[in-house]
Copies of this chain bind each other. A is one copy, B any other.
Amino acid sequence: MSRLLVTGSEYRTIPLACQLFQSREPLPLDCGRSLETFQIAYQTYGELNADKSNAILVCHALTGDQHVADRHPMTGKPGWWETLVGPGKPVDTTRYFVICSNVIGGCMGSTGPASINPATGKPWGLDFPVITIDDMVRAQTRLIDHLEISELFCVLGGSMGGMQALEWCASYGERVFSAMPIATAARQSSQNIAFNEVGRQSVMADPEWRGGRYLEDGTNPAKGLAVARMAAHITYLSDDALHRKFGRNLQNRQKVTFGFDADFQVESYLRYQGISFVDRFDANSYLYITRAMDYFDLAADCDGVLANNFTGTKTRFCLVSFTSDWLYPTRESRAVVQALNAVAANVSFVEIESDKGHDAFLLHEPELFDTVRGFLESARAKRGLPAAGRA
């Protein structure tokens, strides 16, 4: 189903072990500009059934990509949600046809700021239009059209993936039978904009960023991007998780060194997170995708009334939050649930007790697995798909 190919240019070359969808139809964007052509890199797992009723779209988070359940071609690591997606897993690929696509603005094969601008023959850089979550989803609808799927059985995702799931339901609800927005919000909070802004300023402060023209100049704002990742990574965890994992443990030493090397394990861990990230991610993509998150505010599109996004919805919803997630805390999910209740939508909500912070949605959380399995099974029955064990 997937093949290894190398895509790119003299500026940035990445190995792709997935499929490519080329759109020749212009994509109008919220900023008023449009992409004349664009490409989406995507991965699929399982088989689409005869009436195309078993398709699940998994939406990735800020630094994720299409490799939700297969080995990453650059890092060699398992798919980012292999805990949840695969044969016999809660999102069972022996039963569902799972699609995961790299968002536009991304850097793993979909059109983004590191792609070649057809008008200049050079990487877009900051000439790439600023995109929104809505734009990402609009591009995804083209892929789903291309796959000739009229209705998705489920759209699910965590964090920015959950924003996309909500946007699908708000803008293309008639094409979504069920949805699971996990550890997410209907709008980016002030504090989250603030953290994203720190990350962007860190990238742009790096002289190797060159006003976004680093690919042409052969430079690499790796240090700025690494610091951005370090700051963001703290927000993915929790105080308790850090305390349990690292505490004040020292790094291979009995005593502090009275210097600025990584004395504490938590310092060493963070540095590794920063350094390993820059090998696989494009700095400008980081700017564009964080910007899309910051602009996300579903209520603002409906005169400030979130519920108006979902009037008359037939989609079945299940929202999930984690108690120690301070990036997208439970109250954000609750606000969505209240809006859905206001339009009498079919919605369930699970708050999972966990000390792992925002990252919990990517980790071993049996209650999450049970929730996803149970919700999909119940939706299968409603949709008239064969139940588990009788696929």
Contacts and interface: CB of A to CB of B under 8 A. Distances in A.
A205 B193 contact: no
Nearest to A245: B190
Interface string A218-229: 000001101100
A231 B191 CA distance: 11
Contact of A227 (B207, B227, B258): B227
A191 B271 contact: no
Nearest to A208: B207
B201 A271 contact: yes
A195 B30 CA distance: 35
Given A205-B223, A231-B231, A189 B259 contact: no
Given A226-B201, A234-B198, A264-B294, A193 B248 contact: yes
Nearest to A206: B205
A295 B256 contact: yes
Nearest to A33: B258
Interface string A261-276: 0111011001100100
Interface residues of A, number: 58
A214 B236 CA distance: 34
A26 interface: no
A247 to B, nearest CB: 6
A247 B366 CA distance: 35
Contact of A246 (B187, B190, B237, B329): B190
Copies in the complex: 2
Contact of A260 (B126, B188, B237): B126
Contacts of A334: none
A258 B263 CA distance: 42
A6 to B, nearest CB: 30
A130 interface: yes
A243 interface: yes
A248 B194 contact: no
Interface in A175-215: 187-191, 193-195, 197-198, 200-202, 204-207
Interface of A: 30-32, 126, 129-130, 187-191, 193-195, 197-198, 200-202, 204-207, 223-224, 226-227, 230-231, 234, 237, 239, 242-243, 245-248, 256, 258-260, 262-264, 266-267, 270-271, 274, 287, 291, 294-295, 297, 300, 326, 329
